Amino acid sequence: MSTYKAPIRDMQFVLRDLLNIEKHYQTLPDCDEVNQDLIDSILGEASKFSENIVAPLYAVGDEVGCQRQEDGEVKTPPGFKEAYAQYVEAGWPSLDQPARYGGQDLPMSIGTPIREMNGTANWSWAMYPGLSQGAMETIDAHGSEEQKAIFMEPLVSGQWTGTMCLTEAHCGTDLGLLKTKAEPAADGTYRLTGSKIFISSGEHDMAENIVHIVLARLPDSPPGTKGISLFIVPKFIPNEDGSIGKRNQVVCGVLERKMGIHGNATAQLNFDGATGYLIGEVNKGLNYMFTFMNFARLGTGLQGLAHSELAFQKSLAYTRDRLQMRSLSGPKNPDGPADPIIVHADVRRMLLTQKSFAEGGRALIYYASTLGDILTKSDDPEARKMADEVLSFLTPIIKAFLTETGFESANLGLQCFGGHGYINEWGVEQNVRDARISMLYEGTTGIQALDLLGRKVLGTKGKALKMMTGFILDFCKDARSTREIRPYLKTIVKLTKQWKSLTRKIGFAAMRNRDAVGAASVDYIMFSGYLLLAVCWAASARAAHYRLSKGTNEAAFYEAKIQTAEFYFAKILPRTTSLYETMSTGPDTLMKMDADAFMF
């Protein structure tokens, strides 16, 4: 049975060869001393933790799950609490957090590989510290100085963890329907009453306090999304000195019985006059919450990458060992009873699909993390503005595309194992079950697609798309000096022009029928993802050719990059052709049938 091995060499390739990360850090205040040696040291130590401490808990988290006690407390699977204590003791939660709150002040792009390692090793476990990131970002960006003084340091250290509480039983994405009430109290705090469901890491025994970030409505607030406010509701109310005080009136009413991620406590939380602290201004809660949601969407994109990587690692190990049939082109293991199944073309198709999604997705999301560096650390207002606009455009694509391809990779992993994949011995079917939620978290693929096409593209009259296509065409122009990848660049330019023409076509159609946006949006976001991954693979091939031209003792590694790029452009990128066709057909075939006719 294979175990997780952190893909450090590929992480180094992305950071060094693609992103030129040392040069990037030299442009950021107080980051010029972050060099490759430091990065390699951090990656090495993090890999030991993910491989030796977190990965062994993967199966037990699924088999045992979380247990709700009679008093509403929750016991996490064996080993989870102890692993988290080691994580905190080693200082991992504070790695890329601000020094003013006790953090180590390293860039986000260093924290991203650490989160990837832990998530691939055991996504259920990694969610507990992962959700704290969004809570910290939200409080730091929108909270009062008093709130920051109380909550930030224990969150940064990992002593406390955080959650995001949006969903209610009667409303999912449509948050304007939420009913949780917040009544003003005489002491300036609020009393929250209501129930929230699907709260990841909502109750557990791993940290001494849990800081819930909660959407609620004041009694006199206007209806809909304009009347939503945002609150901090801790499990234990802090004393004035920051120490733990009395238990707040928020309890876990039930743990959801789920398809996957059994090791994470997905809770229904009941607020019964719970003490809450208003973040920012009244009725601005949804705007503030997008800080958390956007961070969570990138985190969920990282989840998609994790499932692709895990599927690939397990599949590769199994297909190299499993003997079955003979190669159609002649025996490859003549001294054995059969050939390893990795010699078969269809198995190669599945492996290379997983590899291209994992390594291409890594390049894309690591690039996004460098934009996060600029957004949070740069002292150049124009650079921050540009980073914000590009990251805003990329976020729904990363979330939707990487989770869709992560689930595809997980399914292909099960297929590589055949019947052995369908039983739980190998952990392959667990990866499929765990991966499935990623396409629902933080807004479904359809919601991300509407955000991209409706708000980010058509809502800006194409400004955001024009900016992105400009970057792509500039890359193609610059990369033409690498003769070997010119065919790739020609394809990318063609698809970029199609991307723009499709957008115009959908925009004109939407003027006549607004359903044209919804009819095309999911195909549109997948088209966008395949194109962006093509750019990542062209850049990877370019970097690999450069290294080979200079001479290297890692020729096999760089040649594999070039060969995977060849596969992606030949076997995966042509999916854009069918997406182009389906987007061009409009909404009529979807909307013509009367709703009652579906019942036959």
Is residue 465 within a helix (H) or strand (E), and if so which, with residue range?
helix 463-479
Supply angle C-alpha 97, 102, 108, rounded to 5: 10
Report how far residue 273's alpha carbon sits from residue 495's, in angstroms, rounded to the nearest whole number.
55
Provide the 10 A C-beta neighbour count for residue 511. 8
- Residue 379 · residue 29 · CB < 8 Å: yes
Report how far residue 187's alpha carbon sits from residue 183's, in angstroms, rounded to the nearest whole number.
12
Known active-site residue 442:
yes
Q: What are φ and ψ of residue 144, in 5° steps? A: -80, 165
| Amino acid letter for position 357 | F
Q: With helix as H, strand as E and coil as C, how does 17-64 read?
A: HHCCHHHHHHCCCCCCCCCHHHHHHHHHHHHHHHHHHHHHHHHHHHHH
C-alpha neighbours within 13 Å on the C-beta side of residue 392: 20
Report how far residue 574's alpha carbon sits from residue 576's, in angstroms, rounded to the nearest whole number.
5
250: left (phi over 0), alpha (psi -120 to 50) or beta: beta
Report how far residue 123's alpha carbon sits from residue 435's, in angstroms, rounded to the nearest whole number.
9
- Least Cα distance to 72 among 271, 243, 273 occurs for 271
- Residue 495 · residue 572 · CB < 8 Å: no
From the candidates 168, 309, 408, 442, which is the catalytic residue?
Answer: 442
Positions annotated as catalytic residues are 442
